[in-house]
């Protein structure tokens, strides 16, 4: 019998649920929701990312396997595949985006040290191409038989934490992403 907190719930305790709730209310995330809140969705998706789940089905199976511990892990009730898919499709992405930027800003403040002593911030800009299946993501056409998106990242060298993300079609060059 476990007498302490699970590692995953300890990780969730670093996140401020009241800030997340305020952001969720701002975008109407939990409007007309009975059981599977935005916070539950965030916790389940984080669990999936940290446990290296490859699909919604895999994630749902993992949460069902931990159903008796779901409350103590921090995601309330386990979600069915259709509930999770509907939440991912219908909820406003800006809830999670704004919260992610807020968490990154907090992390940068905690890690700030002046290693370069230049009197300002030093950033690196990089992009990564993410290949996507054209049969599922037809809007991501890159070449005749290839699809994808480009993730542009502004990286704070001093804190070693990303500062900004921008997702564009693959055809967009880095210089265009820097201008926007």
Count CB-CB contacts under 10 A for residue 59.
20
Residue 118, exposed/middle/buried by CB under 10 A (0-12, 13-18, 19+)? exposed
What's the confidence (pLDDT) of residue 118?
A: 66
Give the pLDDT confidence of 79-94 residue by residue, as tens digits.
Answer: 888 888 999 889 999 9
CA distances from 58 to 7, 36, 81, 84 (A): 20, 18, 9, 12
- Cβ–Cβ under 8 Å, residues 10 and 43: no
**Using CA atoms, how far apart are residues 133 and 139, in angstroms rounded to an integer?**
10
**107-139: pLDDT as tens digits:** 878 776 766 666 667 888 888 888 888 888 888
DSSP 79: -
CB 47 within 8 A of CB 70: no
* Predicted local confidence at residue 174, as pLDDT: 77
Buried b / exposed e over 124-141, threshold 16 CB at 10 Å, is eeebeeeebebeeeeebb
- Partners of 166 in the β-ladder: 152
Q: What separation, in Å, do the N-terminal and C-terminal C-alpha atoms of the chain show?
A: 53
Tell me the pLDDT tens digit for each residue of 169-178.
Answer: 888 877 777 7
Q: Is 156 helix (H, G, I), strand (E, B) or coil?
A: strand
């Amino acid at each position: 019998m476990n007498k302490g907190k699970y590692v995953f719930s300890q990780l969730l305790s670093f996140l401020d649920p009241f800030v997340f709730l305020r952001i969720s209310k701002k975008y109407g995330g939990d409007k007309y929701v009975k059981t599977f809140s935005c916070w539950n969705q965030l916790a389940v998706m984080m669990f999936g990312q940290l446990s290296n789940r490859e699909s919604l089905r895999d994630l749902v199976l993992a949460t069902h396997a931990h159903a008796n511990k779901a409350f103590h892990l921090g995601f309330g009730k386990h979600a069915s595949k259709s509930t999770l898919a509907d939440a991912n499709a219908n909820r406003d992405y800006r809830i999670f985006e704004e919260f992610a930027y807020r968490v990154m800003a907090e992390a940068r403040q905690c890690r700030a040290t002046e290693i370069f002593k230049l009197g300002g911030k030093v950033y690196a800009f990089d992009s990564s191409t993410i290949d996507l299946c054209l049969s599922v993501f037809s809007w991501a056409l890159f070449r005749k038989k290839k699809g994808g998106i480009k993730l542009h990242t502004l990286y704070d060298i001093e804190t070693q934490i990303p500062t900004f993300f921008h997702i564009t079609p693959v055809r967009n060059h880095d210089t265009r992403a820097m201008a926007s």
